[in-house]
Chains A and B, each alone.
Chain A
């Protein structure tokens, strides 16, 4: 893509790479440039290697992209690992007083900065980042005013800090512009008004915008960002936020709140989600609305706490004993995380069942720019059939009344004349348990059918899936959730190269839009499922729901995200006859060999 540059910022955890990257992203956003950001890091608080890739473009960006062109090496390790990855026409910026350059690839400029001289001998070590950021800003063709306004905004209350940062950045900016050549494809400017957001923030902000009033959690990467957002904003927004003793408590407390007519939510990752599963069945049989998020990371067990995978689909589908009614949605992008919350709470309340959200580390911990107008939307609040008032007349209220839609009007506890007990034991329309009666197959069948009828209502309401790309292509790439981003770019590229194909992105996993998906896929000669796990969990789900077996599969499960080139190349291999391509990130910079010595333990980690 023209008019776009991928930048890498690397250092040890604790070196300040993240805030450097944030400031660069905000600088770009202020110029109306889109940014997509992904950090590969280790589960360490300090040390290790942290590599932040930021793709900057005047056009839309949906993934991390392929090849880095600009780099800030905050330490020697970054220089040694990543220099060879740089694309011709690119620049490598580093502190010339501290870091020794490697041999630059053809067409790549090495840009050492005399940081001591520029920032002054007494400057704080962190100022090397600011000098480097100033230099990179200049070399990418960005305007200095955009960067300085970011400092002014970020440190609003500390004019001294603003001044020191602007001076350091300016020295780097001027020095670099004077000494080195600007990249071969400098970035421009657009008029867009952009905000820079995380997926976790979008889940939380979206939930707040959808009226969530109780949030419970137990910390677990990569879902903890939702808790931090809620904890930080709960007081202002009137959201009750509880850190509970474990995820079993989390799920049960959330459900207790949901029963009372409050929109309630919780979030975790796979391990915590495992502990929640008994409660999910409870919400289902008691018909209580709740939204539960699983931000997937590499599994099984503790697995890869800080790495990407889409491996919890089977777990979500099987997250309770028995036939249990629930909706499972996998948002397809960081932006979609926001709007999915609007739907999730509406489905939960209208159909009185748990709604499970499958996000993943790629979205939740990734950043992306979004139009501010996109965020400033009033969400539609649809609460379904609820009874908030009592007319004073005694009546026989049936909490679980058998209705054609399966939805029973829900009275909010606290109202006179509507008393009921909700039980996890099977129960009749009045809530009285039938589990202990001698035998009652007729009632049992009736109430199971009633609950299951609600699924048809949800199914009917889901937005219809579509094929993107040439409709008559007989090759279709099918993805679920966040893999939408990289696959949609791959499909565009393949078509440009003359390989005709289109893309089906599936967001709604349960209930599955069997009819629509079958219709879209029925005459395709090559159906290729692209997903991030080893076992092909989505391919199997597709087959289970539609009877369609993908002709080929492209999978990645090495912890790092797909890049568009991985998908493009894999599809080409498939078209040459392969039916399974397992992709991996092979550049040496991705790898951190285990430190020598037996039993090395990380003493502080982010699990």
Chain B
């Protein structure tokens, strides 16, 4: 969205009465707090924000965020969010959820939403585990990882969401870490201001069920792309960096299209005015009906 004319606010304006009920120390606290700071900094009024999630611990986020929100179905945050944006393109739409939600059950929508290029931000709280269902393997679990559903070690390969997003044509692809708050905030503000679909995969450790990918584990490994001279306008180099995993794991902006493609909501002929939701006189005019009837005689 265009935030040029908005005045910065305070993060607490985005805190509702209901406190988050995640486990103490859960990575999702950081994701939420930083998001509140980012929209405050951009000055987006609460009522112009629509936060849509799926189902999972992470998907409880809209309940802890003071704005309009939808806590939808497991895996379906993206189509629901797309629908809200089509109906009212003046809203800033943020979709969020977990790695299971977005890359497991919702993977089809993930790929197609990036290809479709709706102007919205998608935040995945990636803890490499299914938290809410008490600790089963996820598409981003490492091979060999022991979880409740893979007691002998995960036999399946690990998905690379960054490479997938780049391949799917996403115009803004980034990775953050819930343990590095200021860095994460800058990713959020860039993503929200990007005029198209923006994806941020956030390492958000599950302190209860993932004893492998802990805060400490990530702290030891992450490095910032911008500190290693990565040019975010260079797609191929972003793809190259996306392969890094193990002792060195990059965070930051992998790719930001220097000449963004127009988003579909910007181009859709039906969405050129103030928004479909503002239309008061519903139904066809007599002239419109007459023209349609002509087709059948």
Contacts and interface: CB of A to CB of B under 8 A. Distances in A.
Interface string A257-283: 111111110000000000000110010
B47 A416 contact: yes
A256 B63 contact: no
A424 B135 CA distance: 22
A209 B290 CA distance: 12
A193 B293 CA distance: 11
A262 B73 contact: no
Interface string B244-271: 0000000000000000000000001111
A499 to B, nearest CB: 38
Interface in A399-454: 412-425, 432-433, 436
A259 B21 CA distance: 26
Contacts of B85: 256
Interface in B71-119: 71-73, 76, 78-88, 90-91, 108-109, 111-112
A509 interface: no
B50 interface: yes
A418 B47 contact: yes
B283 A209 contact: yes
A279 B75 CA distance: 11
Contacts of B68: 413-414, 419-421
User: Which size class do A's interface residues fall under?
Assistant: 35 or more
User: Which size class do B's interface residues fall under?
Assistant: 35 or more
A254 interface: yes
Contacts of B66: 419
Contacts of A16: none
A197 interface: yes
B69 interface: yes
A378 B281 CA distance: 12
A445 to B, nearest CB: 22
B195 interface: no
A249 B109 contact: yes
Interface in B42-75: 45-48, 50-52, 55, 62-63, 66-73
A246 interface: yes
B265 to A, nearest CB: 9
Which has the most chain A C-beta neighbours within 10 Å: B45, B50, B268, B297?
B297
Which has the most chain B C-beta neighbours within 10 Å: A257, A286, A378?
A257
Contacts of B71: 421-425, 433
B270 A238 contact: yes
A414 B270 contact: no
Nearest to A378: B283
Interface string A230-249: 00011111111110111011
Given A195-B293, A195-B296, A414-B68, A234 B270 contact: yes
Interface of B: 18, 21, 45-48, 50-52, 55, 62-63, 66-73, 76, 78-88, 90-91, 108-109, 111-112, 268-271, 276-277, 279-280, 282-284, 286, 288-290, 292-293, 296-297
Interface of A: 26, 29-30, 153, 193-197, 201, 205, 208-211, 213-214, 216, 233-242, 244-246, 248-250, 252-264, 278-279, 282, 286, 372, 375-376, 378-379, 381, 383, 388, 412-425, 432-433, 436
Given A26-B297, A257-B86, 13 more contacts: A238-B270, A240-B87, A242-B86, A256-B80, A258-B83, A260-B88, A375-B293, A381-B282, A383-B282, A412-B277, A421-B62, A421-B68, A421-B71
